[in-house]
Structure 1
């Protein structure tokens, strides 16, 4: 390949040398013969059409294949030992801990997180209060068999659970936490309010048969901002901000269930068994809670258990980062084993989460419609549920776990909470008689129940908890990275640090290697596939006075390719190697906008750099197509990957190909990106050391606040851009930490005062941390921020000077 590229370089330069002459002013001008239509050493690029659309189509095929293969590859994560119950529990404990981490559930075996605020973020202990409004009785309903109370219990700092507690008037047989679907209130689940058919009010049915029952309130699917492009449900709202902070709406509600288990373990007579039973979203929570908490003695799942082959197509708030790689429902059931499991095949409410049509039409960009579609729920076929259930036979030996799959006649779905299924649950909890459901409906004695206000209060508690995590995240990131990489920094006295700078950065650079791996593999996600040879295809696109431009396409993996436009100056000399500037467009952009058209954000920056003698490469990136690229990210999330997993592989291949060109100096390849390309300017050079410098334009700032701050109107949780959260990035990496991974390479920020992406103050604060690091090693001249009067734009003056200086050109 290198010999081919050398031949081509000398061919071009030779033709140039033969053609130049002196004009009348005695200055040298270069007049070239026609450049070849295809770069020598490459194949002709003949495909016509929208490259970005094709790139997304191919990338979807690539990730779809990986999703299809995921189930068969889960075994690599499991080392089950069935030699004894104790050995089995020990063998699955690593899987349980990984599940807890993916859901943001606190591990009580580890020291609690302490943010130096005087508060510990852990469950505060067993307690449950019976509550009533002034003038109301503490008993809200009563029959001859049970009494119903409204209760509240502590869960985490600033977080409580609320619900209804039903206590039988006789001896308690066992305790069941009965979890409704997200759109069902506790009152509906016990018959105090309409909405759940009497035959499915299984919380009431269990209480009638001597069970103590707790019915918790779940965060609902009610819409916030209905009819707007930022439409989202309560569940999505909590999911989007908590995901970035290493938490999850599922995890929060599992914590509520675990806190209730704490209470029942202490308050009920010793030996009383505890079960969880849930329907719909409650079925999901019953499965996850029992998989995590081994104190739960039996599990009942209705309207959830399935293969979830299209888990990525379920509502956004069910997205568990990397969950599909390791945990199908059968694998979760093995975390419950050897405890008993009852699965009921029932109908579920059909849901399609999508922004209203009238609200989405104005948001069409470049021909790609924005529908705001975020997933759906529907009753699966029995064959799918049965297939997942019978997979357990491959994972757990016969007799190791008592389990049942209950369906109706001819395998039709049952009404949820059927007496047939409840009888099975009661039996494994020690109740030998069949469950008998009465038709006596209790009456609510409260004068007024503010259902909407209670829902908002519960959602606000979770939002406040996330906002608190966000506010202390700066210290958390320092503790995670900077203070570990340079542990003497926080311990040095101010007097000893005065005028002090470290003489050599090698220690810090060595320490960053593990953080670079963590950022790449745990936060962004990396494909481990063997990369194909690039098999470059090219065609001439531009022929300007000072440079020639070629469209380029490179193979990366089967069904994943990289593409862009390469601008080559015409004044290259034989044997000369020049620096390259990779210029990256923003969201919904294409490389041509960096070359021509005088787009207000780009100002023809690629063409102007080529005019100044740089080799320039402008890549396509797959963040174009609105819903299309967001769903690529969502599919990737299921496997512990992100949109940047694709982009990293594309740029890794691009760097290899550029470095092999004879006229390119591989040690002088810089990156300059704006907006979404500015995101790339932070993430790609942080993990790809082939980039010798980076300039972030129109994106730099406090990324954690940009994603999660509920009180900033420009935050991503207030926009349709739901893919911007990265699981647990808020506690590990913001833009300063990414710049630490770029260090000691030159790094610059370009910032328009009127850019609405983030406030100036956030940008200045985050850059101050970067500048401080470079100054500590007497390398402050390698980092720079340029402010200018203007908005979201590549102003370029300071950036061009920075490129010339640090890429040593000319």
Structure 2
């Protein structure tokens, strides 16, 4: 009955469109309700998506309970059933490289400076470095008992605002009772203290200067690493695990006693390291444990794709169980970072009730796990209540040491500071070395990435037959949806179209359109209908997509310098056009949507894909639309959309990427190209692991066998002709050589800037949408 009603309504629509003079301003299209929404509709759209994502984050803990299915009958069975979650955590943290084998850390010394820099009560302090992955060297301090006997091996990790020297009592900044590296060494432990990268802020621009965004060192590493499937957190976890490798190797056939401890960022790294490596007997997490559903407010260097979807701190900690864990509930650092081109942060450490709720979630899991038969404790999980004084004070360290060493473990409480033998390491120079090493490693990964992607796409690229291709490409589109874009598996609402006539010229009528997508999420845009439409006639549609901070009206009114009214010009050529409002508008308002989406395993395009699917669903119902001839044409960020949306919206029968097509992975990850996003304020642009899966040529292969075109201006600063041609050559090779459909693939390069040229692309639309040019 509903379908018949729609058909009748559509019949009325034809009459209205055939007689446009009858239409009045503000009236809806037949078959739709009147659009009542007023004000800044783009801002309202972004606000609705924000509400949607916040609800998804709030619901994440309940979702995790459904996804996690450990079995508790025996300790061994529990460990086996959680192994896939351990592996997945390693993957999203970028801990996926084999570590370099080494015999022992290397002492750092010169002819003027010995490696031994201090002597403390019962221990000596040495400057050391040790290999992690590829050519990366960790640096830090090694504290060794004077008698060379030790009760345990420990990696003690500072927070990002701390240094190893402060943890050892060699520099001011940490109260004596919280100098846990020093106190553990005094208590008979051998302690390795890695230096982790701080949040020192600097202007970043190609070739130096102060023109670029103000980024922390951690975000500067995060950006290219994220694109290459690595993460600053993963790099630093690898430092810790390389230390564990040494401890285990040195123990030989003996069973080493290994612990990790950290505060703040160091607590995060200690928890992740212990979750991933079962050789670690005990972990102590201080000033970090709590709910993660608000991770989008934390520094960008803590953004982990899909983290909150599968893991809260309780789930991560449950990967340590049944090994020992001490949680110190003392507050960690509050972190506030400005919005000056980098990701802003406004993180306030959770209140005790929120921490307790996360601990309760952990207890619900851990209480069901059989205890590890070590014989020294009745319980392997200890909670150290919030301290009114300092973090990692005696009570916390005593719990940690007794978990490691048994009930006789004790903490030396003396506050005798080590005596220095000479100058301490230059902290700023060390920081610069560490940053450069990690960034350089991302560039090595970038250099090798074409081979990695080629192997990833091998099955699809081997197909020559178009019918077979259509089947195999579906598998890759599914991987693209799940892993690159993030699949939002609900289109829960009927479209409920609301429209109103808002624009009119002598050649076309323009209607604002609003469509429901999912709760709090709607699609919005402007439909332009030619006035010469005949009754019963069906015409092709071109969806004309604006770029960054754009609006639908920019594409058809005002002769905007980038768009030149291309939606209106196409309508004047006889096409129906639709100009959607995409969500990349509002600066931090939309960029923080990416921050909220990523922990859920989503991206901005996870929202835009269902919006566009709903737009196509609606367009196909209109009686004057030929649903087999709907094309997509986008500029700039709209060009990004042209690469990502049509692969997942099969109703788009072709795609044109204007002013964006690129060697996209280099565009995002390179620190050696001036037009790289590493040097810009688009902190939301980076897509996890894309470097190992889908560059633009691979995305174009997902659009194939549908027609595809690139529009490029010689002076468009998004890239150079050489890089664009390099990537396009792979697309044309695929269409022309492999699939033998070279007539469906074109590129026009014109002498102009970042703009719609509207010549070769218009011809392409006429040809492939089968609409004769007037």
Q: 1:710 to 1:372 in 2, by over 3 A?
A: closer
Q: Corresponding residue for 2:241? A: 258
* One of 215, 218, 240 as aligned partner of 1:232: 215
After superposing the two structures, state which structure 1 stretch, 624-633 or 262-271, moved more. Answer: 262-271
Q: Is the 8 A contact 1:258 1:293 kept in 2?
A: yes
Pair 1:530–1:751, CA change in 2 (3 A): closer
Q: Which residue of 1 aligns with 2:376?
A: none
| Aligned residue in 2 for 1:478 | 454
Q: Distance in 2 between matches of 1:14 and 1:406?
A: 75
Matched residues in 2 for 1:540 and 1:757: separation? 36
The verdict on how the C-alpha distance between 1:608 and 1:418 changes in structure 2, with shifts beyond 3 A counting, is same
Q: Given that residues 212 and 681 in structure 2 are in contact (C-alpha distance below 8 angstroms), is that contact kept between their aligned partners in structure 1?
A: yes
Question: SS where residue 38 of structure 1 aligns?
Answer: coil
Moved more, 638-647 or 709-718: 709-718
SS in 2 for 1:304: coil
Distance, in Å, in 2 between the alignment partners of 1:304 and 1:559 is: 32
For the pair 1:674 / 2:635, whether they are aligned, the reply is yes
Deviation readout 1:277-309 (Å, 9 max, x if unpaired):
000100000000000000000000100001233
Gapped regions of structure 2 (runs ≥ 5): 205-209, 372-378
Partner of 2:670: 709
Any residues of structure 2 matched to 1:384-423 within 5 Å, and which? 384-397=354-367, 400=371, 402-408=380-386, 412-423=387-398
Kindly tell me: are residues 389 and 735 of structure 1, through their superposed partners in 2, closer, same or farther at Cα, counting changes over 3 Å? same
Shift, 1:520, TM fit:
0.7
Indicate yes or no: 2:400 matched with 1:425: yes
Aligned-partner SS, 1:99: helix
Matched, 1:346 2:330: yes
Q: Please show how residues 196-345 of structure 1 align to structure 2 within 5 Å.
A: 196-225=174-203, 230-268=213-251, 270-345=254-329
| Structure 2 equivalent of residue 761 of structure 1 | 722
Per the TM alignment, residue 510 of structure 1 is displaced from its structure 2 partner at its CA by 2.0
Aligned equivalent of 1:180: 158
Change (3 A) 1:15 1:97: closer
Report the secondary structure of 1:542's partner residue: strand
Which residue does 1:445 correspond to in 2? 421
Aligned to 1:797: 759
Partner Cα distance (1:139, 1:201) in 2: 19
State whether residues 4 and 40 of structure 1, in contact with CA within 8 Å, keep that contact through their aligned partners in structure 2: no
Structure-to-structure mapping, 1:262-661, within 5 angstroms:
262-268=245-251, 270-355=254-339, 374-397=344-367, 400=371, 402-408=380-386, 412-430=387-405, 432-447=408-423, 449-481=425-457, 483-487=458-462, 502=464, 504-661=465-622
Task: Tell me the distance in 1 between the aligned counterparts of 2:731 and 2:16.
Answer: 46
> SS where residue 527 of structure 1 aligns?
coil
Cα 1:294–1:13 change in 2 (3 A) is closer
Deviates more, 1:617-626 or 1:164-173: 164-173
Q: CA offsets, 1:240-274, max 9 Å, x none? A: 11111100111111111111100011124722300
Whether 2:646 is the aligned partner of 1:685: answer yes
In the alignment, the residues of structure 2 paired with residue 697 and residue 581 of structure 1 have an alpha-carbon distance, to the nearest angstrom, of 14
User: What is the TM-score normalised by the length of structure 1?
Assistant: 0.90
- Checking the alignment, whether the CA contact within 8 Å between 1:2 and 1:662 is kept in structure 2 is no
How far did 1:572 drift?
A: 1.6
**8 Å Cα contact 2:13-2:30 kept in structure 1:** no
C-alpha deviation, 1:2, in angstroms: 6.0
Question: 1:433-472, CA deviations, whole angstroms, 9 ceiling, x for partnerless residues?
Answer: 4312222111332346321111111111110110111111
After superposition, what is the alpha-carbon deviation per residue over 1:761-789, rounded to whole angstroms, capped at 9, x for unaligned?
A: 11001000000011122211111000011
Structure 2 residue aligned with 1:56: 46
How big is the shift at 1:179?
A: 0.4
Q: Would you say the 8 A contact 1:173–1:272 is kept in 2?
A: no
Deviations 1:136-185 (CA, angstroms, capped at 9, x unpaired): 22321113511111111110112111110011023211111110111211
CA distance in structure 1 between the partners assigned to 2:185 and 2:417 by the alignment? 12
| 1:749 corresponding residue in structure 2 | 710
Deviating 4+ runs (over 6 angstroms): none
Select which of 84, 92, 96 maps to 1:102: 92
Q: In the superposition, relative to structure 1, how do residues 9 and 529 fare at CA in structure 2: closer, same or farther (>3 Å)?
A: closer
Pair 413,605 (structure 1): closer, same or farther in 2 beyond 3 Å: farther
Distance 2:575 2:641 in 1: 21
2:207 corresponding residue in structure 1: none
Structure 1 position 32, deviation (Å): 4.1
For 1:61-82, what per-residue CA distance to the aligned partner results, in whole angstroms no more than 9, with x for missing partners?
1111111110011023222122
**What secondary structure sits across from 1:394 in the alignment?**
helix
Question: What CA RMSD, in Å, does the superposition of the two structures yield over aligned residues?
Answer: 1.8
Q: CA deviation at 1:628?
A: 0.5
Pair 1:439–1:603, CA change in 2 (3 A) = same
3-state secondary structure, aligned to 1:579: strand
- Displacement, 1:33? 4.0
Deviations 1:39-71 (A, max 9, x none): 011001122101100001111111111111100
CA distance in 2, matches of 1:149, 1:46: 71
Look up the SS of the partner of 1:554 in the other structure: strand
Structure 1 segments unaligned to the other structure (5+ residues): 20-30, 107-111, 113-120, 361-370, 489-501
Structure-2 residue corresponding to 1:66: 56
State the number of aligned residues: 753
CA distance in 2, matches of 1:775, 1:229: 41
| Partners of 2:13 and 2:31 within 8 A in 1 | no
Question: How big is the shift at 1:8?
Answer: 5.5
Identify which of 130, 139, 164 aligns with 1:153.
Answer: 130
Structure 1 residue 4: Cα displacement: 5.4
Task: Write the distance in 1 (CA, Å) between the matches of 2:248 and 2:16.
Answer: 85
TM-fit CA distance, 1:791: 0.5
Q: TM-score, normalised by structure 2?
A: 0.94
The equivalent position to 2:691 in structure 1, one of 720, 730, 751, is: 730
Task: Give 1:196 shift.
Answer: 1.4
